[in-house]
Amino acid sequence: MAHPPSGGGGKSNLSSSTKVALGIIVIVGIAAFAFYDPAGLSLGVFEGFDGKNIFGDRVGDGESGPVNFTMTSSVGLLDDSTVLLDSDIVLQGKHVKDTVIGDSLIDVSGESMRIVFNEFNGKLEIDSVNLSVEGTAASAEVQGTKLRPKSKKFSISAELEPSAYSIDPVTISRVRLSGVTGSIDSEGGESSSTKLANSTVELTDFHGSISFDGKNYVLKGSAKEIQGKSFTLKSS
């Protein structure tokens, strides 16, 4: 998948001592999942962006501190190339299915499961209904029972309606949010708001938590860089 362009005159850089800190990113799923069409998502454009620093003049001047913001969206999608590195993952929800740990298939269809993976390294794919995870882990814990497969390979697919899951803490090399419609409301420096319309936002070196309650995606933590079609915010 192609990376969104960083833009020209709309690029804003934070000072080298400032790390872009995310407050809470809430990705609000549409009410009826049946009408959700990830294939129809497009890059879109950032409406209301005038090329100025979207977080206010004080951001990056060494006085305002970390940039905290909330991004609310009607649709959220994590790119299927998202990679999670050296992280512990907790998945909890109904309708977990087709769970493979090592060479063993664990039939947990229709049950509410709590699965913990330690030192996970692999791939996570999410849309508004389904979650799939595939990769390796040093060990796994299913409903309190620890498993240490020799191959360390596992895969999971889970239907997430109306399930919930959490991944905390996690470090992700790239998180790509597509079809974002809503706004970014900053709390660092002077308050500011940037309107988004069916846009794509990419976070680099994200560290924090991801949760899904059956309706909303919530990302909370920090990132080295936040990039949209019309702006780039980053710390060196």
- DSSP-assigned letters across all residues of 116-183: EEEEEEEEEEE-SSEEEEEEE-SEEEETTEEE--SS-EEEEEEE-SS--EEEEEEEEEEEEEEEEEEE
Pick the residue with more confidence: 235 or 73?
235
Structure-derived torsion over alpha carbons of residues 212, 117, 82, 68, reported in degrees to the nearest 10: 50
pLDDT band at 208 (very low <50, low <70, confident <90, very high): confident
Q: What is the pLDDT of residue 120?
A: 74
Rounded Cα distance between 178 and 36, Å, is: 13
Rg (CA), the chain: 19
Contact in structure between 210 and 199 (CB atoms under 8 Å): no
State the pLDDT at residue 216.
58
Report the amino acid identity of residue 42.
S
Question: What is the pLDDT at residue 12?
Answer: 45
Residue 10 has φ and ψ, to the nearest 5°, of -90, 10
At residue 201, the pLDDT reads 74
Confidence of residue 149 (pLDDT cuts 50, 70, 90): low
- pLDDT tier, 205 (very low <50, low <70, confident <90, very high otherwise): confident
Q: Could you give the CA distance from residue 226 to residue 203 in angstroms, rounded to a whole number?
A: 5
Residue 184: band (very low, low, confident or very high) from pLDDT cuts 50, 70, 90: low
The amino acid at residue 73 is S
Stretch 125-135: mean pLDDT = 63
pLDDT at 225 over 60: yes
pLDDT for res 86: 64
The number of angstroms, rounded, from the C-alpha of 118 to the middle of its chain's C-alpha atoms is 19
Q: pTM (2 decimals)?
A: 0.48
The more confidently predicted of residues 176 and 191 is 176
| 34-75 tens-digit pLDDT | 222 233 222 222 222 233 333 322 233 333 333 344 444 444
pLDDT band of residue 145 (cuts 50, 70, 90) is: low
Q: Is the pLDDT of residue 169 over 50?
A: yes
Beta-bridge partner residues of 72: 26, 183
d(C-alpha 206, C-alpha 234), whole Å? 12
Look at residue 227 and tell me whether its pLDDT is greater than 50. Answer: yes
Q: What is the pLDDT of residues 74-92, one digit of tens each?
A: 444 455 555 666 666 766 6
| Cβ within 8 Å of residue 198, ≥6 positions away | 41, 42, 44, 179, 180, 181
Separation of alpha carbons 8 and 66, rounded Å: 24
Cis bond before residue 162 (omega within 30° of 0) = yes
> Taking 70 as the threshold, does the pLDDT of residue 151 lie above it?
no
